[in-house]
Amino acid sequence: MTMKGGQAKTTLAINLAARIAKARRKVLLIDSDIQANVTTTFQRDHHCNLAHVILGKVSNFDFIQLDRYLSFLPSGGEAMVEASSYLGHTRFKDSLFKNLLSSINHRIVIIDTAPSWSDVSRNILMYVDYVIVPVVTDYLGFSGCDQIMTYIDQFKAGMLGQCKAEVLGIAITRSHPRTKLAQTITEGLRERWPDLMFSQIVEETVSIQEAPAFQQSIFDYRKGRTSGAEMYDLLCREIMRRIVQQQKNVHNGNLTENE
Ligand SMILES: Nc1ncnc2c1ncn2[C@@H]1O[C@H](COP(=O)(O)OP(=O)(O)O)[C@@H](O)[C@H]1O
Ligand SMILES: [Mg+2]
What are the residue boundaries of the structural domains of the chain, listed by start? Answer: 9-244
CA of 234 to the centre of ligand 1 (A): 18
Q: Which residues line ligand 1 (CB under 6 A)?
A: 5-11, 37, 115, 173-174, 202, 204-205, 208-209, 212
pTM of the model: 0.94
End-to-end Cα spacing for the chain? 36
CA of 158 to the centre of ligand 1 (A): 32
Task: Report pLDDT for 110.
Answer: 95
Angle between helices 141-158 and 119-127 (to 10 degrees): 70
How does pLDDT run across 15-39, given as a tens digit for each residue? 999 999 999 999 999 999 999 999 8
Residue pair 221/227 in contact (Cβ under 8 Å)? The answer is no
Q: Which atom of ligand 1 is nearest to the CA of 33?
A: 21
Question: How many CA atoms lie less than 13 Å away from 49 in the CB half-sphere?
Answer: 21
Q: Which ligand is nearest to the CA of 12?
A: 1
How far is 144 from 140, CA to CA, in rounded Å?
Answer: 6
How far is 168 from 194, CA to CA, in rounded Å?
Answer: 12
For ligand 1, atom 26, name the residue with the nearest CA: 209
Q: What's the chain's average pLDDT?
A: 90
How does pLDDT run across 227-254, given as a tens digit for each residue? 999 999 999 999 999 999 998 888 787 7
Task: Report pLDDT for 11.
Answer: 97
Task: Report pLDDT for 155.
Answer: 94
**Short-list 96, 126, 94, CA closest to 1:** 126
3.40.50.10490, 3.30.565.10, 3.40.50.720, 3.40.50.300: CATH of 9-244: 3.40.50.300
Distances in Å between the Cα of 50 and the Cα atoms of 33, 72, 82 are 10, 10, 11
Residues of the chain with confidence (pLDDT) below 50: none
Task: Report pLDDT for 95.
Answer: 58
Q: Which ligand is nearest to the CA of 7?
A: 1
Task: Report pLDDT for 118.
Answer: 87
